[in-house]
Chains A and B, each alone.
Chain A
Amino acid sequence: MSDGVYSTRRSFEVCVTISDQPHVPAGVVDATDRVYRGVIRAGGVIVLVIMAAIGIFLFIRAFEAISKSGFAFFINQKWEPDAGNFGIAAVLVGTIIIALVAICFALPLSLGTALYISEYAPRRIKQGLISLVDLMAAIPSVVYGLWGFFSLQAAIVPIARWLSQTFGWIPFLQVDGYDAKDPLSSTTVFTASSFIAGIVVALMVTPIMTSIMREVFSQAPVGEREGSLGLGATKWGMIRSVVLPYGVGGIIGGTMLGLGRALGETIAVYMIISPIFVIQPHILQSGASSISSLIALKYGEATPMGMSALMAAGLTLFFVTLIVNFGASAIVARSRSGASS
């Protein structure tokens, strides 16, 4: 192997690093290649450094606020950083509520769309539909926000009113301050709620969820599908017994990825909700909060202390989405199909 230029140890090293490569004798690794490998390795390292830097710099900036607030940072609902009275309890819960509402809507929508594209759609339009889903993922957040604020909100308010009147006995659907018998009572208590923000976010995360689920569904083994149909199953019988069990990892993983996106959504949520700083479990009631919209709202007038508190909130969001995403990619990778996606 070694042509004498390299020491034994060197050639051994080269053999180890490139052992998975197609037929590269060790002697071929010349000076150009060493530079080339060094450069592309540096590319990978830079990306790692950027990611680490995000966490480190946010932590450095957030340290002041966290040390001042201590553990109360996680249980305080107020946001008055200059008075030292602040915490992320309200905004974190608000973020999670909006994300959960979004997932409740996005899961059936994306499951249906993914099944339609992979199982029902005529082959002529299949590729077009896949492109359309990709395009939907590229629509700017602010455009969804415009639509949510100027169009969807008015259409959803009657639904929200009906839901709260009919199912008001369920705690989280309760709405205070609206009396159906009083014709003068305004329906503005139903606007700017977590519910409406959640629906808009649902539409924004549906494409990513759909494309992951579709990918997994389309890889369900042909033999098993045909076997199922050949035994006399209906199409739904085939889907339930072959496609869905095969794609369950993709469904869960895709949903978690969607959840990660939903947690971090900023502008559309900011445009719709009216921010409050108490834990608001009533999803239909006006007033909601999320970490990202808190940052967008407060960064302008923030003092150094306020900025530090915002950095702490951002750091929390960073870690929450990171955990959700690692979980998601682990699940997708463990399902039988994830390797090629």
Chain B
Amino acid sequence: MSNAVIDSQVSSGQPDAEAEATPVAKPAEDKPRRIHALRLSDVFQIVGAVVAALSLTGVIYAFMAPVGGVVGFFATFYILFLGFYAVLVSLDESLPMVRDRIVMVAVHSLAATVFVTLVFVVLFAVIRGADALPHLNFFTEDMSLAGPLDPLSKGGIIHAIVGTLIQISIALAITIPLGLTTAVFLNEIPGKFTRFVRTIVEAMTALPSIVAGLFIYATFILIFGLNKSGLAASLAISVMMLPIMIRAADVVLRLVPLTLKEASLGLGANNWHTMWHVTLPTARSGLVTAIILATARGIGETSPVLLTSGFTASLNANPLSSPMVSLPLAIFQFVKSPEPTMIARGFGTAAVLMALVVILFLIARYIGGRTVAKKERARVLRERRWNALRSFVLSIPSLAMRFGRWVTALVTRQPRTSKGQAK
């Protein structure tokens, strides 16, 4: 907060002309004092508390050992550290300052815990999956011919990859039209009914995924009498993805400036043309982000798929009949087995799934982060590069000619000089 204030003062506070006109007001005086400067004693307090806590924790662990394990060590260390730090700060500072420092340390460490754990969860899957990933057959074969005791050089997860891609495609084919239409509805037609729909959508975002699976099981399989299949799984995933997409798209559409719509309507366009030619193109990058985020969520759903898709070890590209497995379901089945190779395959599959989710997420962030100004800058940059490339390409003939002239000159000159030397 204070940062923003400081920045605005720095940027707007001192027009150059004024500073030059009145030499008394030096620019330095206009700068606000930095209030969060780190003092040497602050560093000493933290370092001292860490050292003291580490030593005492070491003593406790060596002689008393109430808790075992790494987590216990860190917990003990952390509690002792807070205590020591409070004591050290209270030597110099007043009570409110001590409280401020303790909270600061606590907030930082809580945030660090969350982020470190996140990175660890992701890395854990990748590291444990490293045994399976280098085998090329892991990506090209299915598990129909590989038993649980077979080594990692046999069998793979192509069936799960294909299954995931097919299921998510069908789900997207259902949710993109329906989700975006509903989001447009929420924005275009205000009223009581719209508010009601919005409340229902919000409630649906937290629908337990297993209930979505049960719903499809109750309708698709029990009432219509169809078998478990990829289509059923896609429908279950769609039920999960729909509210996520609607909410994200709703927020994006709400951000489209009203003046644009009014300008379009003022020029005589009807509502449909305004939506299709003005609102949707303006919100395009945000809508793409909404779709990709929903895809990332849908791709990782296990429990709805568990109830509706059935399980198979072989490749099945037909979503209408016979079971079809997806990546999360494959992980789930792999790690149920006690065999180390199967568990390694499960972790390898998890690494593939994580990679897929992270890639989708990065694409979403890239597209969503592109504002009009950034796009324009990128376009200018591209044009400049293209011009440079074109002028380079165009200059190739003349360069070649010059080079050719230089070579011929060299070649024709050489015998003469050598002759000259020989003479």
Chain A 139-152: CB-based contact to B (< 8 A → 1; otherwise 0)? 11111101101110
Task: Tell me, yes or no, whether A307 is within 8 Å of chain B by CB.
Answer: yes
**Given A36-B272, A162-B72, A267-B332: A325 touches B202 (CB 8 Å cut-off):** yes
Q: A142-B328, A234-B100 are in contact. Are A158 and B72 (CB under 8 A)?
A: yes
Complex A-B, nearest 4 residue pairs according to Cβ-Cβ distance, in ascending order: A112-B110, A264-B208, A140-B300, A43-B181
Contact of B242 with A by CB under 8 A: yes
Complex Cα distance, B96 from A151, in Å, reads: 40
- In the complex, A77 has a CB within 8 A of chain B: no
Asked if B272 and A32 sit within 8 Å, CB to CB, the answer is: yes
**Residue from B207, B302, B346 within 8 A of A264 (CB atoms):** B207
Is there contact, CB below 8 Å, between B181 and A40?
A: yes
Q: Does A271 contact B (CB under 8 A)?
A: yes
Of the residues B114, B190, B262, B293, contact of A109 by C-beta under 8 Å: B114
B96 contact from A40, A234, A296, Cβ within 8 A? A234
Chain B, interface SS category: helix
Shortest beta-carbon distance from A197 to chain B in Å: 15
A243's nearest neighbour on chain B, judged by CB, is B1
Listed by A's residue number, 19 A-B pairs whose Cβ atoms lie within 8 Å are A29-B271, A36-B272, A41-B189, A54-B215, A60-B218, A111-B110, A112-B106, A112-B107, A119-B107, A136-B114, A142-B332, A143-B122, A146-B346, A166-B66, A203-B114, A234-B99, A295-B210, A311-B214, A329-B199
Q: How far is the CA of A46 from the CA of B238 in the complex (A)?
A: 13
Q: Nearest chain B CB to A199's CB is how many angstroms away?
A: 10
Asked if residues B215 and A236 are in contact (CB atoms below 8 Å), the reply is no
With A48-B200, A140-B357 in contact, is A33–B206 under 8 Å at CB? no
**Stretch from A4-12, A82-90, A255-263, A277-285 contacting the other chain:** A255-263
Name the residue in B109, B196, B301 with the highest tally of chain A Cβ atoms < 10 Å from its Cβ: B301
Inter-chain pairs besides A131-B361, A158-B67, A321-B208, 17 sampled, C-beta below 8 Å: A17-B191, A21-B190, A22-B265, A32-B272, A41-B185, A44-B193, A47-B201, A47-B242, A50-B239, A51-B204, A112-B114, A143-B121, A143-B354, A226-B5, A266-B303, A295-B210, A317-B208
A314 within 8 Å of B by Cβ? yes
Residues of chain B touching chain A, judged by Cβ–Cβ distance below 8 Å, are: 1-3, 5, 66-72, 75, 96-97, 99-100, 103-104, 106-111, 113-115, 117-118, 120-122, 124-125, 128, 178, 181-182, 184-186, 188-191, 193-194, 196-197, 199-204, 206-212, 214-215, 217-219, 222-223, 239, 242-243, 246, 258, 261-262, 265-266, 270-273, 275, 293, 296-297, 299-303, 306-307, 328, 331-332, 335, 343, 346-347, 350, 353-354, 357-358, 361, 365
- Is A229 a contact partner of B219 (Cβ separation < 8 A)? no
- Tell which of A32, A158, A239 touches B69, judged by Cβ atoms closer than 8 Å: A158
CB contact list, A224-265 vs B, under 8 A: 225-226, 229, 234-237, 239, 257, 260-261, 263-265
B114 contacts A146, CB within 8 Å? no
Enumerate chain A residues within 8 angstroms of B104, measured Cβ to Cβ. Answer: 120, 235-236
Partner among B5, B117, B128, B194 whose Cβ is within 8 Å of the Cβ of A203: B117
Interface size class of A (residues with CB under 8 A): 35 or more
Query: Is A132 in contact with chain B by the CB < 8 A criterion?
Result: yes
> How far is it, in angstroms, between the C-alpha of A119 and the C-alpha of B293 when the chains are bound?
27
Partner of B262, one of A22, A30, A115, A155: A22
